[in-house]
Structure formats: structure tokens, C-alpha cells
Amino acid sequence: MPFLAAIDHQKLVLQGFEAAREAKHKQAEAARNRLRAALNERLALTRILQPLTKDASWETQSLSDLDRGLPARDKVVLYRALAIYADEVPQARIDGAIWKSRELAAQYEESLVQSKSAAAQWDALMDTLAKVLADYHAAGIKNADIAEFFKALGLVGIGVGVAQ
């Protein structure tokens, strides 16, 4: 019976490991997508900064002064940069926030999976103990035999706990 209990325990450990691994994959995917969103934001900022730094006089003027004083061709460059800043940069930041929350959800899911696995292992152990006690009672085995069994099962449990 202890060997059957150990086999069942290892099956539950394996199921918990596989579920935790799946949650880790989700977490890694969310982290990659969050990094991609940050890179998209940096690229958008680079596309804004590059044309605006061509002319050093733009740095010292306000937007209204630039709007009044720039030729039409330069106004197009300015408005394109402002449009990118108003559209692409916030979208990349929103995407980053979404993927960050998904990454946190995956971390929570991993914790939940580990808790479920531990509960299932505990339930299997208690179920095994109940079956053993019922079998011993039905067979007319003495209390001393049951105590020895629990000592042996305790040593197996300690060994499994140390091995993890």
C-alpha cells in the first residue's frame, strides 16, 4: 500500500509540475509581449526625436511659435511627430500595461496551480490513510500494527518532502 500511495503521489506531483510549467509559459509569453510593447514605444519615440532634432532652433520655441513661423514642409514634419506622439506612444504604453497585467495574472495562476497541487496531494494522502485504516479494521489487525504502519508512512512522507 505505501508503494501505491507513493505512485499516486508522484502522479499528482507530475500533474502539478506540468500545470505550473504551462503557467510559466504564459508568464514568459506575457513578458516577451511586454518587452515588445516597450520596444515599440522606444521606436515611436525615436521616430519623433529624429526629425525634431535636425534644427536646433526648434528646441527653444513653443509649439505655437513653431506653428506660426515654420514653412509648410517643416510643419508637416512637426505635425507628423506630434501625431506619432499622440497616437503610437500611448498605444504602446497601453499594450505594455495590458501585458504586465497578464504577466501578473500568470504569476497568480502559477501560485493557484501549486496550491491546488498541494491540496490534491494532501487529499490523496488522507484517502490512502482512510483506506488503509478501513482495511486494517476489516482484517482485525492490532493497534500496534497500525502504529508501525504510520511510522513507516511518516518516514516515506519525510523522505518525499526532503527530496523536493
Find the range with the poorest average confidence among 47-56, 60-69, 146-155. Answer: 146-155
Instruction: Determine the average pLDDT of the residues in 108-119.
Output: 87
Give the pLDDT of residue 104.
94
Cβ neighbourhood burial of 74 (10 Å; 0-12, 13-18, 19+): middle
Instruction: Determine the average pLDDT of the residues in 31-52.
Output: 93
Give the pLDDT of residue 87.
92
pTM above 0.95, yes or no: no
Give the pLDDT of residue 146.
67
Instruction: Determine the average pLDDT of the residues in 65-91.
Output: 89
